[in-house]
Structure formats: structure tokens, C-alpha cells
């Protein structure tokens, strides 16, 4: 009879249909589990900055004039006092005269790379300091690849990865970008499926020096294009595990013009519009933490000093400080400083390996208190930050290397306790 036959046929079709639905649910659960692994509830990330070095100068006395040409481009038409090794014939050191009233700076070279820089009897840069930072950050990310409870899931950079584009544009030509690739990027673990990379920088002024189209950045870190970074739009944002990371571009450095937000890609006003929109969305979605990264500091008492009032993102951040937890990471001034202003944490992290600033200015009356050195003497230091998000909380630990403290050169200290 037709009805029982139809019922039997439906039952035969129903069994594979149920199996198919079961497999689909299992696949969805596996995908959701993978997504949860990619975006853990609790995770750590690393922040460091100002890792750029000085010019790569291979060659000997036969290349003296070519070396001088590079030095004149680097040091505003100043010629250096060149010394060559009696054994190898290669460049051994360069002395750049100081400006009136300022000491000379000596750059010591090995195999074309500056390995030590001294000024007024103090070491202000050693290549081993940057190498230590690279090794430690790589190790943090390698442990994180094994599980978010063991190490870092991401690494952020506050800008000035490379010196300039004057000696070659793009990864295939630039000695500085190749040095960064060979000594840092190749050591990173492969990102998990669905993620473009583990390393996310803001642009520094040195990324644009001699490289106005940021070919070095775009060819060395091509995956950043998927997050919206381009030569015409040098800002981007990403969300990870309920947190938002916002990267802005404070622009290049104009000699003699003072500090300013000189980026035109886009300009300050349009960047602040984007920042406000990203913050509003984060607040509406009740995101756990917001991290904002831009190169030039909002608060600073050393080196080039802070951004001026009309070019400072702080007034745009302040209205959101009661709605979402905000932490700002800056660089540019090659030192470390901490501030807490209007409920926002500001960390100036410039100890990645560039020549260091070891003096501070007297802050103006009423200026926010600097919380790291706290008025004490500064010393040569290389460091990186490990931040951990757990639930709605944030803890931050600074790992530092102080070569001038042979009795205990390596330390780990908690910030904003």
C-alpha cells in the first residue's frame, strides 16, 4: 500500500538526514572550539618599541667617501671622523661631532653594523641589548603558540622599527628591514589558522624617513593590509578576545619645527574621528580593555618632549575613560616613562634598542607625575612589557636588562600595582 511504503521511505531518508545534522553540529562545535582557542578568555601580549639602529656601513677605506655620504644624510650634512681596523681594513668607528656645547658621539662598527654607541663616557646603545629584547619576545610568542596560559598571543610595537629608507626601499633592498626580518620575524611561530600575523606595529617617524610610501613596512609585514593599513591610510584596529587594539599614525619628524602630529594619511582631525568611533563602539559593546598605540608620546619629560595640546589624543580619550579601561602605548623618546592621567594609563616604551635618552627635563608646574624613574637618575636599559588580561582585569610586568648592574642585570617588575 502506498502510505506504509511512503512512511518506510521517509524513515530511510530520516536516518541519514539526522546523521548529517549530527556531523554538522560536531563540525560547528569544533569550529567554535577552534575560535575559542584563537581568542582565549585570558591571554597575554608583549609590547616593545624603538628598536631601530644606525646606518649599515660595510666597507673599508676605499669606500670612505661613500660612507661619508651616508653619514651626511643621517646627521644633517655632518662628516664623521672615520677609523678603520688595522687587521681587517673594515670600518671600526665613527665620531660625529656634537653641536655647540654638546659632547661627541662615537659609533663602533663590526661587519658593517653599529654594535656600540657612546656619548660623554656613557653607553647609549649596544646591539646586544636589542638582541636580548628580540630573543625574549620571540620566546614569549613561542610559548604562547603552545597555549595562551604559557606565553603571549600577540606582540605590539610602538614604532621606529627601522632607521630609514635612504639605503634601500622595501624588504628586498633595505639592510635595516632585512636585519629585522632575519633577527626577529623569522623566529616567530606560525600564526594560527585565520590569523594574518602575530606582530602589530604603529608607524614611527623613521618608517617614513626616505620611504614616503612606507614600502618597507608593507613589504616586510604584508598581512597588515588585511587589517586596513595602506600607504594612504596608516591606521588600523583589531579585536582579540574581547579587547580592542587601535593603531594610529602620529607622522614624521620635522627638524626645527618641534613636535606635532604631522601625519596626513589621514590627518589628525580624521584620525581622531576614527579613534572616537572605535572607542564608542568598544564602549557600546562593553569590551574588556582598549589599547591605543601611537608613536609620539602624549606625556613625556625627556628628549623631544610630548605632543602639543592641539595635536594630542588625550582630550579624545578622556571622555571614554569612565566607560572602558584604556591603556596607551607610546614610543619615540628612547626611554621608559609611566603616567596615569584622568584614569588612563600611559606607558612610554622606548627601550627596544635604539640610542637611549638618559636625561630628563624639569617638568612644568602641575605636570602629571612620572611614575617609573620618579626623578631618580636614568641608566642604560633595554626592556619589553608583558600585559595579561584576565577577566576584566589587567596586569603588566616590565622585563628589563640593565648592563650597568652586573650584580643583577635582569629584573621583572610589576607596573601600576
Q: How confident is the model at residue 193 (pLDDT cuts 50, 70, 90)?
A: low
Contact, 57 vs 109, CB < 8 A? yes
Contact, 142 vs 155, CB < 8 A? no
Q: What's the angle, vertex CA 250, arms to CA 244 and CA 253, rounded to 5? A: 155
pLDDT at 8: 42
Burial of residue 67, with CB atoms counted within 10 A of its CB: 0-12 exposed, 13-18 middle, 19 or more buried:
buried
Residues 222-273: tens digit of each pLDDT? 999 999 999 999 999 999 999 999 999 999 998 777 889 999 999 999 999 9
Contact, 261 vs 296, CB < 8 A? yes
pLDDT at 195: 67
pLDDT at 99: 86
Q: Which grid cell is 275?
A: 579613534
pLDDT at 10: 44
Query: Which residues, 6+ apart, have CB-to-CB distance to 63 below 8 Å?
Result: none
The whole-number average pLDDT for the span 185-201 is: 86
Give me the count of residues in the chain. 417
The residue behind cell 624588504 is: 171
CATH topology of domain 41-53+125-415: Purple Acid Phosphatase; chain A, domain 2 (3.60.21)
> Of all residues in the chain, what percent carry a pLDDT higher than 70?
90
Q: Please, how many CA atoms are within 13 Å of residue 296, restricted to the half-sphere of its CB?
A: 25
Q: Please, how many CA atoms are within 13 Å of residue 252, restricted to the half-sphere of its CB?
A: 16
* Of 25 and 293, more confident: 293
Q: How confident is the model at residue 30 (pLDDT cuts 50, 70, 90)?
A: very low
The whole-number average pLDDT for the span 19-43 is: 48
CB-CB neighbours of 22 under 10 Å: 10
All structural domains of the chain with their residue ranges: 41-53+125-415, 61-111
User: pTM of the prediction?
Assistant: 0.90
Amino acid at each position: 500500500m502506498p502510505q506504509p511504503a511512503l512512511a518506510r521511505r521517509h524513515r530511510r531518508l530520516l536516518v541519514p538526514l539526522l546523521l548529517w545534522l549530527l556531523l554538522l553540529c560536531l563540525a560547528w562545535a569544533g569550529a567554535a572550539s577552534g575560535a575559542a582557542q584563537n581568542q582565549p578568555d585570558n591571554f597575554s601580549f608583549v609590547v616593545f618599541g624603538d628598536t631601530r639602529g644606525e646606518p649599515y656601513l660595510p666597507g673599508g677605506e676605499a669606500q670612505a667617501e661613500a660612507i661619508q655620504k651616508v653619514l651626511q644624510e643621517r646627521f644633517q650634512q655632518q662628516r664623521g671622523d672615520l677609523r678603520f681596523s688595522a687587521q681587517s681594513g673594515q670600518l671600526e668607528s665613527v665620531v660625529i661631532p656634537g653641536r655647540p656645547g654638546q659632547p661627541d658621539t662615537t659609533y663602533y662598527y663590526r661587519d658593517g653594523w653599529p654594535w656600540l654607541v657612546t656619548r660623554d663616557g656613557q653607553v647609549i646603545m649596544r646591539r646586544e641589548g636589542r638582541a636580548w629584547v628580540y630573543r625574549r619576545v620571540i620566546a614569549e610568542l613561542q610559548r604562547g603558540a603552545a597555549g595562551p596560559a604559557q606565553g603571549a598571543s600577540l606582540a605590539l610595537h610602538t614604532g621606529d622599527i627601522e632607521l630609514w629608507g635612504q639605503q634601500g626601499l622595501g624588504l628586498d633592498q633595505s639592510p635595516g628591514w632585512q636585519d629585522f626580518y632575519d633577527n626577529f620575524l623569522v623566529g616567530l611561530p606560525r600564526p594560527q589558522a585565520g590569523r594574518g600575523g602575530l606582530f602589530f606595529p604603529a608607524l614611527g617617524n623613521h618608517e617614513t624617513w626616505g620611504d614616503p610610501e612606507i614600502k618597507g613596512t608593507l613589504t616586510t609585514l604584508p598581512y597588515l593590509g588585511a587589517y586596513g593599513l595602506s600607504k594612504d591610510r596608516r591606521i588600523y584596529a583589531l579585536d582579540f578576545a574581547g579587547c580592542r587594539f587601535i593603531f594610529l599614525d602620529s607622522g614624521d619628524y620635522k627638524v626645527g619645527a618641534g613636535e606635532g602630529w604631522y601625519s596626513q594619511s589621514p590627518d589628525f582631525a580624521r584620525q581622531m574621528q576614527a579613534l572616537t568611533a572605535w572607542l564608542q563602539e568598544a564602549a557600546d559593546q562593553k569590551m574588556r580593555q582598549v589599547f591605543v598605540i601611537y608613536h609620539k608620546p602624549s606625556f613625556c619629560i625627556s628628549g623631544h618632549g610630548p605632543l602639543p595640546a592641539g595635536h594630542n589624543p588625550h582630550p579624545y580619550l578622556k571622555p571614554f575613560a569612565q566607560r572602558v579601561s584604556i591603556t596607551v602605548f607610546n614610543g619615540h623618546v628612547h626611554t621608559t616613562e609611566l603616567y596615569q592621567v584622568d584614569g588612563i594609563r600611559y606607558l612610554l616604551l622606548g627601550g627596544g634598542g635604539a640610542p637611549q635618552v638618559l636625561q630628563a627635563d624639569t617638568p612644568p608646574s602641575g605636570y602629571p607625575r612620572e611614575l617609573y624613574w620618579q626623578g631618580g637618575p636614568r641608566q642604560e636599559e633595554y626592556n619589553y612589557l608583558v600585559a595579561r588580561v584576565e577577566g576584566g582585569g589587567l596586569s603588566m610586568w616590565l622585563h628589563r636588562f640593565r648592563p650597568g648592574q652586573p650584580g643583577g642585570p635582569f629584573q621583572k617588575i610589576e607596573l601600576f600595582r
